[in-house]
Chain A
Amino acid sequence: MVRPLPLAFTALALVVLAVAPHAQDMPPGPAAKEASERPAWQAHGLKPQNPNSPFDEVVSGLYFRSKETQEMQADDFNNPGFLAVEQGEELWSKVDGAAGKSCASCHNEASTSMKGVAAAYPKWNEKLGKPINLEQRINICRSGAVKAEPWAFGSSELTAMTTYIRTQSRGMPVAVKVEGPMTPWFERGQSLYYQRNGQLDLACASCHEKNHGKYLRADFLSQGQSNGFPVYRLRDQRLVPLHERMEGCMQDVRATPFQPLSDEFLALETYVAWRGLGLPVETPAVRN
């Protein structure tokens, strides 16, 4: 016996379907439309500068983002990342600490003295016997010559100063060196990159090497390059430094993340920079 109630409601649904004016001309689903509107990222590939590169071509994360996001980065005024550059510029000439110095006291104009500097980081530090990244270098200066308190990782001052110094290398190719004493750190970073972590049992490579240019649910995956960091994230509406992003990635695969400025993240930063050798520094980049 056919029950009248569900039949009535199904009939109602069919009636609505029949009369709804747009029922016949439904536009293509979001993924198809999006793919046709997103500029082809493949057109922006560069030949990798490292032998044994895992990529045929290296592509900046910029080209995996939407047209609107790319437009936001294209204009230095529209790019909200420049608010951090301005903050960094102010801090550069601000006297701070017991020595009565500012960065400018020793380094004068950043656009001259810092040109090309950040592109070579992380760098081997002889005194510490390990590589250091730009954030650590800034704090070494602060506690050393400037005799001021180091800035905490993630603080707006440290992120702003890192952004300001890195933007002086904008347009220049990433140029990290992985030979000599850097080699064991490079190799450690390489192992970590391919190591599967977390409940989701994914490695960096699972998304960024094997599946860039594809959708992970609604996320269009990039090659996971670091040339634009610190980046202005649309989601967070502020500048995000690299180690914070990597920490987030590990949380996303439900792993216990490494700590920012840890040896693991220094090794990874070294290795990831190597993967992007030759890409132009884009700091401050705009990303999702």
Chain B
Amino acid sequence: MVVEQAAAARPWLRASELVKTYGGVAALSGVSLELRLGEIRGLVGANGAGKSTLVKILTGVTPQDAGTVAVDGRSLRPGRPHDALAAGIASVPQELTVAAGLTVAENVMLGHEPARAPGFLRPRELRRRAARAVDSLGHALPLDEPVGGLSLIDRRFVMIARALSYDTRLVIFDEPTATVSPREVALLHAAIRRLADRGVAVLYVSHHLREIEELCDSATVLRDGRVSADLERPAHEQLVRELAPAAEPAALGARRRQSSASALADEAVLVARGVSGERLRDVDLVVRRGEIVGLAGLAGSGARELILTIAGAVPWDGGEIELNGRPLRSGSTIRSVGAGAGLLPGDRSLAVFPTHTVRHNVSLPSVRAYATGPFVRRDGERSAVASLIERIGLRSGTETRISALSGGNQQKAVVARWIASGAELLLLDDPTSGVDVATRPEIHAQVVALADAGAAVLLVSTDMDELAELCDRVVVFAQGTVSHELEEGFDAAGLLAATTGTAPRKGAT
């Protein structure tokens, strides 16, 4: 124990003056970082600030051009992922990379299964080692069940257990809460704290500044490939100051509620009556023109399922949904888009056509507007898209391949897509989960502008601040049905209480 404490005093990992350029563009220009065992350090920065490049260098995925990464005073060879793992550096990527058909134990030990000489598996040893990794996590998982039957959050815990199944001293978490509900965030954070208490260092990469404040002992702020601040006990306000060139106007939500009070007509855009499906029970909802309605709830509560159902991505089997007076068909995205729905998923891989131009990405659902018969008039299309992306502040050419843009800008292009198509019901599914703090208010401003122009907006978010800022009212879901309806004067704390079930239920008052 004495040894442990002595070790904790000096840095276990020391990265000095890391430099990395891609095709002449500097991603990192002299970044240094130190981590002690048992420390939880946040890593924050706008998209493109160099966070992922730094993580890739630490894990040996990408070799640095200059600078060193040293563990316990020994330098690691650049660009050797196996060396990094052997030294005790493991990472939990943002995407869920589990094999659904294999058991929890098999997933935990994936890639370094214990085997005897010619390559025969040792199943008992595999299970024993997996059990040890899951134990150290402090979150119970059914070792022999296939991962396919687990909830999303348990799948994430499987990935963390996998990182721990190596002799791990540093775990790097990359946006671990991107698609996780608030209650589950608490579970995840509890597990991370337990790891730190056991003397494991943690590097926590996130856009969620509140989480950094709650969880982290220290934080490194990156800006344009340099360390712009090293903070001890980082506070939320401090982080916002360091990161955001222009903080989000706090009055946005208030202004919204006023403008809708003046009411753009009481015309209902969306009417859902008694909608039931695999994850929905008898849901009624009316959304009017110019209204921003939030849907809150834990994962699986029905909030997200409802907008996917309206979008036509998920089938339903009872009740009816009308959009602009046109009945929607279960599981038909064609009908939903045709009736005026537009889905903006937070997960860009569900929205972006990576090998195509910005023009193609923006104009796809509205391309007939620029067509004479079957032929697209490209000049008209180009100038329409050009003026649209300029209006929403997307600084890019129309002919640029969209995968060359930052994540936030790709998200803006998807917003532009539904402006171009004249969508009258915007379905936002955690729209800013993968977006940096600078782009977030820009996207919020666009959503408000669309609502002011007469669109109805449904917003599902795991971010209570986002719901409180933007929404005219919030409908809270639990177990597939509406549990609360919050009309006005709600705040993030009240929303959290309602979604986690600590506030009295609808009808109970």
A binds B: no
Report which A residues bind B (CB closer than 8 A): none
Report which B residues bind A (CB closer than 8 A): none
